Amino acid sequence: MFNITTLSRGLLLEYNFLSGTIPKEVGSLINLGMLTLSRNNLSGEIPEELGSCQLLTILELDGNSFQGTIPSFLSKLKGIQLLSLSSNNFSGVIPQEIGLLNELQELYLAKNNLSGHIPLVIENLSHLYKLDISYNNIEGFVPEKGVFNNASALILVGNNKLCGGIPELHLPKCFIQHDKKHVTMLLKLIIAIVSTIFLFAALLLALLIAKWKIRRTTKSRTNSLLTQKLPKVSYGQLAEATGTFSVSNLIGAGKYSRVYKGILQFKEGSNQEAYTVAIKVFDLQQLGSTKSFMAECEALRLIRHRNLIRNITCCSTIDYNGKDFKALVFDYIPNGNLHKWLHLEKDDHEPLSPLSLTQRLNIAIDIADALDYLHHNCQPSVIHCDLKPSNILLREDLSACVGDFGLAKLLPDPITRSLVESESSIGIRGSIGYVPPEYGEGGPVSTTGDVYSFGVLLLEMFTGRNPTEYMFKDGLTLHNFVQMAYPERVMDIVDPNLFTVNVMESNAFNKMCECLVSVINVGLTCSKQSLLERMSMEHVAIQLHKIRDVYLR
């Protein structure tokens, strides 16, 4: 029967007494549109040759005794609209490859022995309007997008460890598992640190006083040198460059400022050269904006790194109405910020393509290198205090540079650090979702706070989940969400946009999985609740470079 290669309409053999396995010859039915073998006594595994029937729109194998895992080669059935595998003996997890069936409308996987989490890729199946995964052993968080946003489209009963989801599902909240070793480790670390402080206090104090004296003598000379290098611009030049700060040239806005695209004329020898620039104009009516301007000027005066935004000049004057005016002028970065690339926001010109694994890892390394420089190679150290995707800009080659130092804090040395930290604890620095927990409790700003923000950013880059999404409530955070899946089910929660057809079908898929597990581990370590358990940015940068060298080169 399965040698009838011209059969094209459908093969309907449901409710018979067929037994045995599906013969491999089924792969010769390349024109078959419908295959229904429901309610028979068939067993064994689904033959890989079935993946050759790429014109199938309906595949019904429910009510048999098939076993093994749900095969990944079903992703080759690009036109499949109905897939029914219910009432069999399938085990293992629901494969990520299901997310490649873009035409799928109905998916029935009930009454098997499936386990693991619900793959997030399913919520991207825009045509899917019916999903039945009842009576399995599936556990964990239920997504809230796509088909999961319609309670009447879902049948989830019989999976007692599911949680979350939309309120209409009446599922319990996702509980967070706390690390039992946390308190013990914390106490040990505190004791070790206190002992070390007493042991080396005298030697450290002597060294720091010597460094402070050297830095004090060179500081004024450095200040004047940097000031001389900045070209002078007037309010009139900035107004002309932006069309009198026209809305059509507005490219960004924050709490304290607006950013405009403009074209400025600078003298290069005897010639006038035009440069496209980004002009950050501070709203001085906003309380705290002047302090933000001064903080950014102070930070930008000190830093020079390929992955930090370059400040061209600044302007502090009065406008045509006699009011105070303050602005900073930067290189114009054409590709915008990382946030719109991660969440594929619509661009004014062309739709954005999802970032690949390699591109994301390269961007993460650029950011880590920049923070390593700020924390460990700047004198004094600079704490960014507001690390998030919208403050990461991407150049034309998608290399990253860290911007917006409006909340930055300098950490001169431990001698004056106590004064800096007590001042910094007045008000929480940073953005919701990225602020380390110790800041919310009134703790001082520190380099470990930046590490926490970087960890959250790293998890967001590779899961595609914004830490302020509605799903993160009642104690569930992006860190906890990822931790519950790590390491066995990491592939269930990573950004589905990483799984292209070429990647899923290549031999590099396992290597990609190992790479993602390693990167996620760095993100989880950086975003730990306890600041004592986080890495330094120097260590983070080293780890990410190693991961890239091992898996992507």
Known binding positions for ATP = 280
What is the 8-class DSSP label of residue 19? E
C-alpha dihedral sign at 364, 368, 374, 375: positive
**C-beta separation of 106 from 128 below 8 A:** yes
End-to-end, the C-alpha distance of the chain in Å comes to 49
How far apart are the C-alpha atoms of 115 and 492, rounded to whole Å? 12
Overall residue count recorded for the chain in this entry: 553
How far apart are the C-alpha atoms of 289 and 294, rounded to whole Å? 9
How far apart are the C-alpha atoms of 350 and 334, rounded to whole Å? 13
**C-beta separation of 71 from 48 below 8 A:** yes
250 φ/ψ angles, rounded to the nearest 5 degrees: -75, 125
Q: What are residue 324's DSSP bridge partners?
A: 318
How far apart are the C-alpha atoms of 483 and 478, rounded to whole Å? 8
Single out the residue of 516, 405, 504 nearest to residue 458, CA to CA: 516
Helix, strand or coil, per DSSP, at residue 68: strand
The H or E element spanning position 315 is strand 311-318
For residue 318, what are the CA distances in angstroms to 65, 284, 295, 311?
81, 11, 20, 21
Rg of the Cα trace of the chain? Answer: 29
Chain position carrying tokens 């556990």: 139
Provide the pairing of β-strand 161-164 with 257-268.
unpaired
How far apart are the C-alpha atoms of 75 and 78, rounded to whole Å? 7
Helix, strand or coil, per DSSP, at residue 326: strand
For residue 302, what are the CA distances in angstroms to 68, 138, 297, 516?
61, 53, 9, 35
In three-state form (DSSP H/G/I as H, E/B as E, the rest C), the secondary structure along 127-172 is: CCCEEECCCCEEEEEECCCHHHHCHHHEECCCCCEEEECCHHHCCC
Helices (H) and strands (E) in the chain, counts: 13, 23
**Catalytic-labelled residue, pool 132, 366, 372, 386:** 386
Single out the residue of 302, 295, 469 nearest to residue 385, CA to CA: 295
* Residue type (1 letter), 402: V
Token output for 220? 């004024």
Chain position carrying tokens 């290399």: 399
Token output for 330? 């930067």
How far apart are the C-alpha atoms of 369 and 361, rounded to whole Å? 12
Residue 372 among the catalytic residues: no
* Number of other CB atoms surrounding residue 548 within 10 Å: 18
**C-beta separation of 230 from 314 below 8 A:** yes
Q: Which residues are catalytic?
A: 386
